[in-house]
Structure 1
Amino acid sequence: MQRASARTGTTMTLGSMLFVQLGLAASVGLFDRVGPAGAACLRLTWGGLLLLAIVRPRLRTLPGDAVRGAVLLGVVTAGVTISFMLALERLPLGTAVAIEFLGPLGVAAWQGARGARAWPLLAGVGVLLLTEPWHGGADPLGVAWALAAGACWAAYIVLTQQVGDRLPGITGLAISMPVAALVSLAVAGPRVAAELDPGLLALGLGLAVLLPVVPFALEMLALRHLTATAFGTLMSLEPALAVLIGLVALGQAPAPIALLGVLLVVLAGAGAQRTGGRPQPVAATPEVVQRPSSSRYVSEPS
Structure 2
Amino acid sequence: MEGERLTGPPPGALRSPAEAAIPLLFLSAALISQYAGAAFAKTLFPLVGADGVTALRIGLSALFLALIWRPWRARLDRRAIRSVAAYGVMLGAMNFSIYRAMELIPIGIAVAIEVTGPLVVALAGCRRIVDLLWVALAVTGLTILLPIETGPGALDPVGIAWAGAAAGCWALYIVFGKRASVLPAGQAVTWGMLAAALFVAPIGAVNAGAVLLDAEILAIGAAVAVLSSVVPYLLEMLTLRRVSGSVFGLVISGAPAVAALVGFVLLDERLDWTQWTAIGCIVSASAGSTFGGRKETV
* Structure 1 counterpart of 2:41: 27
Other-structure match for 1:282: none
Q: Which runs of 5+ in 2 are unaligned?
A: 1-6, 11-19
Of the three residues 25, 38, 53, the one matched with 1:39 is 53
Deviations 1:210-266 (A, max 9, x none): 112333566788599538xx84x8655222223434566677775444454455455
Change (3 A) 1:59 1:271: same
Other-structure match for 2:142: 128
> Corresponding residue for 1:226?
245
1:199 to 1:135, Cα distance in 2 relative to 1, 3 A: same
1:52-63 equivalent positions in 2, closer than 5 A: 52-58=66-72, 61-63=75-77
What's 1:51 paired with? 65
Rounded Cα–Cα distance in structure 2 between residues aligned with 1:124 and 1:12? 27
TM-score (norm 1): 0.71
Shift of 1:146: 3.0
Distance 1:101 1:272, change over 3 A: closer
**Correspondence for 2:88 among 41, 54, 74:** 74
Contact 2:91 2:196 in 1 (8 A): yes
8 Å Cα contact 1:47-1:212 kept in structure 2 = yes
Deviates more, 1:9-18 or 1:167-176: 9-18
Give, in whole Å, the separation in 2 of the partners of 1:249 and 1:40: 20
How big is each residue's C-alpha offset from its partner over 1:83-113, in whole Å with a ceiling of 9 and x where there is no partner? Answer: 2222344556566445434322221221546
In the alignment, is residue 209 of structure 1 matched against residue 226 of structure 2?
yes
1:183 is aligned to: 199
Distance, in Å, in 2 between the alignment partners of 1:183 and 1:66 is 18
Any idea what SS the aligned residue of 2:128 has?
A: coil
- In structure 2, relative to structure 1, the CA distance for the partners of 1:160 and 1:246 (3 Å cut) is same
> How many residue pairs end up in the alignment?
276
Report the secondary structure of 2:245's partner residue.
Answer: coil
| Aligned 8 A contact 1:12 1:222 in 2 | no
Is residue 2:165 matched to residue 1:148? yes
What is the TM-score with the length of structure 2 in the denominator?
Answer: 0.72
Greater displacement, 93-102 / 194-203: 93-102
SS at match of 1:167: coil
Aligned-pair identity (%) = 32
Shift of 1:144: 4.1
Given residue 206 of structure 2, which amino acid in structure 1 is its aligned partner?
P
What amino acid is the match of 1:184? V
String of CA shifts for 1:106-131, please: whole Å, max 9, x gaps: 21221546367346425515633774
Give the whole-Å Cα distance in 2 for the aligned partners of 1:33 and 1:256: 32
Distance 1:249 1:171, change over 3 A: closer
Distance 1:192 1:251 in 2: 26
Retained in 2: the 8 A contact 1:108–1:120? no
C-alpha change, 1:201 and 1:256, in structure 2 (3 Å) is closer
CA distance in 1, matches of 2:178, 2:131: 19
Q: Match of 2:185, SS?
A: coil
Counterpart secondary structure, 1:114: coil
Deviation at 1:36, TM superposition (A): 0.9
Query: One-letter code of the match for 1:171?
Result: Q
CA RMSD, 1 decimal:
4.1
The corresponding residue for 1:194 is 210
Does structure 2 conserve the Cα–Cα contact (< 8 Å) formed by 1:22 and 1:210?
yes
Change (3 A) 1:207 1:269: same
Following superposition, the deviation at residue 183 of structure 1 comes to 0.9
1:86 aligned residue (79, 95, 100)? 100
The one-letter code of the counterpart of 2:63 is: L
Q: Please state how far the C-alpha of 1:270 moved relative to its aligned partner.
A: 4.8
Change (3 A) 1:216 1:81: farther
- The answer on whether the counterparts of 2:54 and 2:99 sit within 8 Å (CA) in structure 1 is yes
C-alpha distance in 2 between matches for 1:156 and 1:275: 23
C-alpha displacement at 1:48, in angstroms? 0.7
Distance change >3 Å, CA 96–CA 262, structure 1 → 2? closer
Shift of 1:39: 0.7
- Residue 17 of structure 2 corresponds to none
Post-superposition shift, 1:67? 3.5
